[in-house]
């Protein structure tokens, strides 16, 4: 009846839990070192800056998606929200010199509404998250296309102050990664260190137990979706700021890229496990691979294939490690227990 | 329900029993079929060009890849799994077809090869899910990316056209004397076979049991892994074959053929009333769901409604299809218990 | 018994689920410093009552009184804040979170800015475990804890709340021996500190050992609330079932035939080691031992659910392949599993389909299943086992626990096995059905079946078995013939003679 004494078992568990972020980091380092060895221009200021700029939007979306996935749900509508917001804020600034802050707020407000709809449907009506967000993916995308009607926003029409957000920097650090890192740290700290943050993990880990424990399940799920929506809205504005030229299907198909980044980053698709840091690292890794292929002059067509392989590798290794831990714990149970 | 149920299930079941699984009283597949008939009659009366043989055969032809892939997808969802890689497998098959045709292979050699390739794509999904015990959602998001990537590796951004006319005719022609295109006739045959398998054979019984309570199915001696593996393989094969049809129908092999089609297939299956959590659904419902989506799209197109609206309608239908049964159940429950028992729980 | 007003009470509470009236006009007083028992057969309404006290359900009629004043619990959170803690039969932990977080979820000690104080969290948890006398690591995840340890975490959770009312819904179902003893000593300590406790168990001897008063429910109605001092176990059973019971253990004498099941040196690393035994035709062999001793795991391996690393399983001299339930079934083994709801039945499925699930091959007419054959077979077994149901097309989930178990038995007996393994055949089912199941097992053995019965219910083991195999820490510790099997001999083997007392 006595249980596992601390020691080997605990260390093993700890290692595996942390291993995920560390192993992605290691993969990143190896990737960068090897690529730099082959082509030293890879690690140039511009090269590094490009990678971070490119990864920022994906990482931002991955942070929001993580909150949702941790509660054992999923948000497939983010790609559509990015597209809608990018186009809407483009329309909004068209020919006017709008305040950047105002544009950001508008974008995040649109995202919040989309997220709220998802959240209400999932938490109050208990409709499977995949189905709801697949539905809103279509609806939002359709509304966006209908509105755009083939139009596109051109960089020339976008005010310089907004474009500055996409390409400018403070103290040599570009705004985009800065925003992403700040958001990531804030969300990560909240999820790890605040009682309500831990409830997201609890809900995803065992929804029935969460209900019996009297946790505010609806509110947390609503929060997760709204956050994901707001961050998708933010990403939409940043998309416009970075690319200037926006057509309605900006970020089309990104929902699955975001989920891929999150899963590569070690967030369990069945909820309860993972961190926003891992998810952001996952996004960085996926983006870096893209750049590496360019630098190594590998046909860029390989990028998707490699990203897919990486995802499969990540979840398989996770699973195998998990099985080993379970086996190790099982042995300990027998040795120490009755 | 048994009031003294053990806590684990009762805690899950107490508010849930009456909520999502009302099934018996609100048969969603019946509602969808009724809706289909209403749409058809309404369309025939209100839109002159709708109920013509040419238009219907065009509408059905346009639908056939989604319809074909929806069959194995239904079985997968019933056993509690999902395959998001179908459209990428279709694209990969299309790209291979283009590349090999370009290289001078005969269609008669290419197609059997593509079937084998399709089986392998399904095998990869199935092995990762059954051998490693990974969630199919994560696995097939991975293979979705992988197979689409491989399609680009094979064909790049090229488009290969000019396939032999006799094969193109097979993909677009109709069964003599009917407005039914050959690919859709194939769908009808396969749908009947699938319906019999699912609803009248031991394998079908086993599938429902797996989806409803996998562990109990395993304890009852059902070869859970083997059945799942087989279904993934079938899904791969059908997707690859759908890739051939798609290519011949449009007369163009491209790596991005069928991009995003997986979501349309899943939408059709769920619209047909198959429970995404597994263990519940009818093939008749799925056929009605597929046709409803197809006819609506066609009607909207005939009425010059922007194509974007079709996407909105699909999305709304999808949400309504899962929402209605729950709201009905919730209202019924609320009437019985003054307190709202639709307390939240994820999924 | 106590002069003070009850801490928590129910007054005239009724609750219905659809057409089923789970509780009708039930009242209950829980006083501080008293352990109150709740008795009743399955389906009597015990769990519904617990859930009303826990705030999971709201009564349709009647009141919940806290310190004499009506309270309306809007959800489990309300009840918890009012000082009501519930330990459910099956622990409800968050597997991905640490043990400490599980205990303090929603009430974590705070540091500055409302952040969680992890140091305080850890030390508070360690303090709780010290009080309970267990050595669990506060930082390990709950995933992989044994059921007994999970129960400990639940108890720690209740204690940490400084609960004034502790409700234990069959907390001992998965425990044995000294684990139950430890739970009881914790319960008594809480009682002495002025807590009100409500204790539910199917094991009558536990009720008599621990409690002062007992409230009996039958069919959702209150039968009696009375001191246990004035009752005998027979009285209590009579109140629960409303009639005299036939003998609970109708064991028929049989002469064993050939060995049908032979298990030789079976080993699964870290789970069980070198297990050898045989079960002969006409014999009921009990596999006893503490929870976690590896009994169910041996059964699972024999049936092919789990793989084993070494050894062999033979049926009538033919060796079975490793890890194939299908092969085990073909060889004539049937396994009535431990967890009825997860492993035994498809709860959403109908009665007829559940019974037919093991014999799909024989229900075929051509390639398709004959619905008539399916229904006929189910109807046949329903009559043979006296199943109480309204329609065969009802979901098994609507049946009572005892009737569900009959469906599981029907499902397996219809495969016409020669070896029947039953894992906790009467756990969580009412006394009346229990006797029926025992009679059935006895008849089956008399008909020449080899029966291997795993049970934590010692009277059942002693009453039913021709031989008792006792497992201890993954090994067979003893084989005791019926004549020599007593509570003392079985428990001595199950606990291991050299076994040190648990910390």
Average pLDDT, chain A: 85
Query: Quick one: which of B148, B170, B169, B153 has its CA closest to B262?
Result: B148
Examine the pLDDT at C388 and tell me if it is beyond 90. no
pLDDT tens track for A90-124? 888 887 778 889 999 999 999 999 999 999 999 98
- With an 8 Å Cβ cutoff, are C17 and B220 in contact? no
What is the number of alpha carbons within 13 Å of residue B240 lying toward its C-beta?
A: 24
- B11 falls within a domain: no
Phi/psi zone of residue A98: left (φ > 0), alpha (ψ -120 to 50 degrees), beta? beta
> What is the residue whose two structure tokens read 């709708």?
B50
Pick A326 or B76 by higher pLDDT. B76
Mean pLDDT of A169-190: 91
- With an 8 Å Cβ cutoff, are C357 and B209 in contact? yes
Does the fold of domain C245-332+417-503 match that of domain C8-93+145-241?
Answer: yes
Query: Which of the listed CATH numbers 3.20.20.450, 3.30.470.160, 3.40.50.300, 3.40.50.150 matches domain C245-332+417-503?
Result: 3.40.50.300
Examine the pLDDT at B129 and tell me if it is beyond 90. yes
Mean pLDDT of B206-232: 95
The pLDDT score that the predictor gives to residue B342 is 35
Examine the pLDDT at B20 and tell me if it is beyond 60. no
Examine the pLDDT at B343 and tell me if it is beyond 50. no
Are A286 and A303 spatial neighbours (Cβ–Cβ below 8 Å)? Answer: no
Mean pLDDT of B43-71: 90
pLDDT tens track for C143-159? 878 777 888 888 888 88
pLDDT tens track for C100-112? 999 998 888 888 8
- B71 falls within a domain: yes
Instruction: Give the number of A-B residue pairs with CB atoms closer than 8 Å.
Output: 195
What one-character DSSP code corresponds to residue B135? -
Mean pLDDT of A239-246: 88
Q: Any residues with CB less than 8 A from the CB of C497 and at least 6 apart, and which?
A: none
- B20 falls within a domain: no
* Chain C residues inside the 8 Å CB shell of A210: 94
Average pLDDT, chain C: 86
Q: Which of A1, A4, A201 sits opposite C97 (nearest CB)?
A: A201
Indicate the burial class of A297 (C-beta count within 10 angstroms; 0-12, 13-18, 19 or more). exposed
Give C 273-292 residues with CB within 8 A of chain A: 290-292
Tally the residues of chain B.
347
CATH number, domain of B154, equals 1.10.3470
Pick B205 or A317 by higher pLDDT. B205
Are B140 and B239 spatial neighbours (Cβ–Cβ below 8 Å)? Answer: no
Indicate the burial class of B332 (C-beta count within 10 angstroms; 0-12, 13-18, 19 or more). middle
Are C50 and C21 spatial neighbours (Cβ–Cβ below 8 Å)? Answer: no
DSSP, collapsed to helix, strand or coil, labels residue C75 as coil
Tokens of C298: 């041996």
- B16 falls within a domain: no
Domain boundaries, chain C: 8-93+145-241, 245-332+417-503, 338-397
**Where are the alpha helices (H) located in C193-321, listed in sequence order?**
204-210, 233-241, 295-303
Examine the pLDDT at A225 and tell me if it is beyond 90. yes
Examine the pLDDT at A190 and tell me if it is beyond 60. yes
The pLDDT score that the predictor gives to residue B335 is 63
- With an 8 Å Cβ cutoff, are C95 and A215 in contact? no
- With an 8 Å Cβ cutoff, are B137 and A260 in contact? no
- B284 falls within a domain: yes
Pick B110 or B317 by higher pLDDT. B110
- Give percent of chain B above pLDDT 90: 52
Q: What share of chain B is helix, strand, coil (3-state, %, to 5)?
A: 70, 0, 25
Q: Using CA atoms of B9, B12, B16, B17 in order, give the dihedral in degrees to the nearest 10.
A: 0
* Chain B residues inside the 8 Å CB shell of C342: 213, 215-216
DSSP, collapsed to helix, strand or coil, labels residue C77 as helix
Residue A171 contacts B where some CB pair is shorter than 8 Å: no
The pLDDT score that the predictor gives to residue B220 is 93
Ranges A187-201, A296-310, C357-371, C428-442, most confident = A187-201
DSSP run (H or E) holding A225: helix A217-243
Distance CA B220, CA C412 (A): 8
Are B249 and B172 spatial neighbours (Cβ–Cβ below 8 Å)? Answer: yes
Query: What is the pLDDT confidence band of residue A80, given thresholds at 50, 70 and 90?
Result: very high
Pick B330 or A130 by higher pLDDT. A130
Question: B-side interface with C, Cβ within 8 Å?
Answer: 1-11, 13-14, 17-18, 21, 196, 200-202, 204-206, 208-209, 212-213, 215-223, 279-280, 336-337, 339, 343
Tokens of C475: 């090994």
- Give percent of chain B above pLDDT 70: 88
The pLDDT score that the predictor gives to residue A235 is 95
Examine the pLDDT at B7 and tell me if it is beyond 60. no
Query: What is the pLDDT confidence band of residue B333, given thresholds at 50, 70 and 90?
Result: low
Q: Any residues with CB less than 8 A from the CB of C185 and at least 6 apart, and which?
A: none
- The count of other CB atoms within 10 Å of the CB of residue A290 is 18
Pick C427 or B137 by higher pLDDT. B137
Number of domains chain B is built from: 1
Examine the pLDDT at A62 and tell me if it is beyond 90. yes
Examine the pLDDT at B339 and tell me if it is beyond 60. no
Q: Taking CA atoms, what residue in B is nearest to C217?
A: B4
Residues C8-93+145-241: name the CATH superfamily.
P-loop containing nucleotide triphosphate hydrolases (3.40.50.300)
Query: Using CB atoms, which chains have 3+ pairs under 8 A with C?
Result: A, B
Distance CA B20, CA B341 (A): 12
* Chain C residues inside the 8 Å CB shell of A220: none
Mean pLDDT of C192-216: 88
- With an 8 Å Cβ cutoff, are C369 and B205 in contact? yes
Mean pLDDT of C2-25: 80
* Chain C residues inside the 8 Å CB shell of A335: 270
Residue A123 contacts B where some CB pair is shorter than 8 Å: yes
Give me the phi and psi of C310, to 5 degrees please.
-155, 160
Query: What is the pLDDT confidence band of residue B230, given thresholds at 50, 70 and 90?
Result: very high
The pLDDT score that the predictor gives to residue B11 is 32
The pLDDT score that the predictor gives to residue C91 is 72
pLDDT tens track for C274-333? 999 999 999 999 999 877 788 999 999 999 999 999 999 999 999 999 999 999 999 999
Residue C306 contacts A where some CB pair is shorter than 8 Å: no
DSSP run (H or E) holding A153: strand A152-153
**Where are the alpha helices (H) located in C45-90, listed in sequence order?**
46-53, 76-81
Helices A276-295 and A302-336 cross at an angle (nearest 10°) of 140
Are C176 and C291 spatial neighbours (Cβ–Cβ below 8 Å)? Answer: yes
Domains and CATH numbers, chain A: 42-317 (1.10.3470)
């Amino acid at each position: 009846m006595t249980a596992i004494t601390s020691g080997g078992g605990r260390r093993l568990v700890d290692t595996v839990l942390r291993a995920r972020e560390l192993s992605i980091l290691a993969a990143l380092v190896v990737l960068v070192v090897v690529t730099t060895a082959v082509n030293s221009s890879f690690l140039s200021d511009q090269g590094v800056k490009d990678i971070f700029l490119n990864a920022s939007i994906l990482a931002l979306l991955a942070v929001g998606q993580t909150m949702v996935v941790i509660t054992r749900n999923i948000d497939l509508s983010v790609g559509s929200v990015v597209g809608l917001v990018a186009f809407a804020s483009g329309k909004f600034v068209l020919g006017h010199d709008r305040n950047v802050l105002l544009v950001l707020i508008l974008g995040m407000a649109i995202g919040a509404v989309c997220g709220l709809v998802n959240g209400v449907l999932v938490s109050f009506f208990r409709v499977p998250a995949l189905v709801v967000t697949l539905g809103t993916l279509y609806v939002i995308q359709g509304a966006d296309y209908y509105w755009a009607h083939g139009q596109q926003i051109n960089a020339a029409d976008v005010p310089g102050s907004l474009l500055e957000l996409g390409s400018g920097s403070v103290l040599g650090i570009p705004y985009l990664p800065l925003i992403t890192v700040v958001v990531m740290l804030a969300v990560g700290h909240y999820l790890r260190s605040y009682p309500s943050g831990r409830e997201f993990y609890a809900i995803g880990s065992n929804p029935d137990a969460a209900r019996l424990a009297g946790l505010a399940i609806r509110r947390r799920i609503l929060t997760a979706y709204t956050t994901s929506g707001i961050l998708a809205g933010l990403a939409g504005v940043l998309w416009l700021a970075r690319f200037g030229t926006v057509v309605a299907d900006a970020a089309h198909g990104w929902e699955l890229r975001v989920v891929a980044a999150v899963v590569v980053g070690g967030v369990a698709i069945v909820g309860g496990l993972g961190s926003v840091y891992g998810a952001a690292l996952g996004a960085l890794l996926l983006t870096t691979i893209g750049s590496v292929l360019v630098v190594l002059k590998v046909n860029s067509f390989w990028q998707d294939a490699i990203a897919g392989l990486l995802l499969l590798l990540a979840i398989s290794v996770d699973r195998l490690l998990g099985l080993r831990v379970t086996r190790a714990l099982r042995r300990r149970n027998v040795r120490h227990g009755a | 329900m048994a009031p003294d149920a053990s806590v684990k299930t009762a805690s899950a079941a107490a508010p849930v029993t009456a909520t999502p699984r009302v099934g018996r009283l609100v048969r969603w597949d019946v509602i969808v079929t009724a809706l289909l008939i209403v749409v058809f009659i309404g369309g025939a009366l209100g839109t002159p060009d709708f109920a013509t043989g040419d238009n219907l055969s065009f509408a059905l032809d346009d639908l056939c890849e989604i319809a074909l892939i929806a069959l194995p997808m239904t079985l997968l969802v019933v056993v509690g799994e999902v395959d998001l890689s179908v459209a990428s497998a279709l694209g990969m098959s299309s790209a291979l077809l283009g590349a090999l045709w370009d290289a001078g292979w005969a269609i008669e050699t290419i197609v059997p090869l593509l079937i084998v390739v399709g089986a392998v794509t399904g095998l990869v999904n199935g092995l990762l899910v059954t051998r490693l015990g990974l969630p199919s959602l994560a696995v097939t998001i991975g293979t979705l990316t992988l197979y689409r990537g491989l399609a680009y590796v094979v064909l790049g951004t090229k488009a290969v056209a000019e396939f032999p006319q006799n094969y193109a005719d097979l993909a677009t022609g109709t069964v003599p004397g009917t407005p039914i295109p050959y690919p859709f006739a194939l769908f009808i045959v396969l749908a009947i076979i699938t319906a019999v398998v699912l609803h009248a054979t031991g394998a079908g019984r086993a599938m429902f049991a797996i989806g409803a309570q996998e562990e109990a199915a395993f304890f009852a001696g059902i070869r859970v892994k083997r059945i799942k593996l087989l279904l993934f393989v079938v899904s791969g094969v059908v997707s690859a074959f759908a890739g051939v049809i798609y290519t011949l129908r449009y007369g163009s092999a491209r790596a991005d053929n069928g991009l995003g089609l997986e979501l349309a297939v899943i939408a059709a299956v769920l619209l047909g009333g198959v429970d995404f959590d597994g263990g519940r659904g009818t093939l008749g419902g799925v056929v009605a769901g597929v046709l409803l989506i197809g006819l609506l799209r066609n009607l909207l197109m005939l009425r010059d409604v922007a194509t974007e609206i079709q996407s909105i309608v699909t999305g709304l239908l999808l949400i309504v299809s899962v929402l209605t049964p729950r709201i009905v159940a919730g209202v019924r429950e609320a009437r019985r218990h003054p307190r709202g028992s639709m307390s939240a729980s994820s999924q | 018994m106590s002069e003070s007003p009850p801490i928590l009470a129910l007054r005239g509470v009724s609750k219905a689920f659809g057409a089923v009236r789970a509780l009708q006009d039930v009242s209950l007083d829980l006083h501080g410093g008293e352990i109150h028992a709740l008795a009743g057969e399955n389906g009597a309404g015990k769990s519904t009552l617990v859930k009303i006290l826990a705030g999971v359900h709201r009564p349709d009629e009647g009141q919940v009184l806290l310190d004499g004043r009506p309270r309306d619990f809007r959800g489990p959170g309300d009840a918890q804040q009012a000082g009501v803690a519930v330990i459910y039969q099956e622990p409800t932990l968050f597997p991905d979170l640490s043990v400490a977080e599980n205990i303090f979820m929603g009430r974590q000690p705070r540091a500055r800015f409302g952040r969680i104080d992890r140091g305080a969290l850890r030390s508070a948890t360690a303090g709780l475990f010290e009080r309970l006398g267990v050595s669990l690591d506060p930082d390990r995840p709950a995933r992989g804890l044994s059921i007994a340890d999970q129960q400990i975490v639940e108890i720690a959770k209740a204690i940490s709340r400084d609960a004034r009312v502790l409700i234990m819904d069959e907390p001992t179902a998965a425990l044995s021996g000294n684990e139950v003893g430890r739970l009881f000593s914790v319960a008594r300590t809480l009682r002495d500190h002025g807590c009100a406790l409500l204790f539910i168990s199917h094991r009558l001897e536990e009720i008599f050992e621990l409690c002062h008063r007992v409230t009996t429910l039958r069919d959702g109605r209150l039968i009696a609330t009375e001191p246990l001092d004035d009752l005998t176990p027979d009285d209590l059973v009579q109140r629960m079932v409303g009639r005299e019971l036939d003998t609970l253990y109708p064991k028929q004498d049989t002469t064993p035939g050939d060995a049908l099941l032979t298990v030789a040196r079976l080993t699964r690393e870290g789970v069980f080691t070198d297990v050898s035994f045989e079960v002969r035709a006409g014999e009921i062999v009990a596999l006893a031992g503490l929870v976690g001793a590896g009994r169910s795991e041996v059964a699972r391996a024999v049936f092919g659910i789990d793989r084993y690393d070494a050894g062999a399983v033979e049926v009538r001299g033919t060796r079975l392949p490793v890890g194939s339930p299908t092969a085990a079934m073909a060889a004539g083994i049937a396994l009535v599993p431990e967890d009825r709801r997860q492993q035994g039945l498809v709860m959403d499925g109908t009665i007829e389909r559940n019974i037919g699930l093991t014999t799909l091959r024989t229900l075929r007419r051509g390639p398709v299943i004959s619905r008539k054959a399916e229904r006929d077979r189910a109807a046949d077994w329903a009559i043979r086992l006296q199943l109480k149901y309204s329609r065969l097309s009802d979901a098994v989930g609507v049946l009572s626990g005892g009737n569900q178990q009959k469906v599981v038995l029907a499902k397996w007996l219809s495969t016409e096995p020669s070896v029947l393994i039953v894992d906790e055949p009467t756990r969580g089912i009412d006394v009346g059905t229990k006797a029926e199941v025992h009679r059935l097992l006895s008849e089956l053995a008399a008909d020449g079946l080899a029966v291997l019965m795993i049970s934590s219910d010692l009277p059942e083991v002693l009453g039913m078995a021709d031989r008792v195999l006792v497992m201890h820490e993954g090994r067979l510790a003893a084989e005791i013939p019926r004549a020599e099997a007593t509570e003392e001999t079985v428990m001595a083997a199950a606990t291991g003679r050299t076994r040190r007392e648990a910390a």
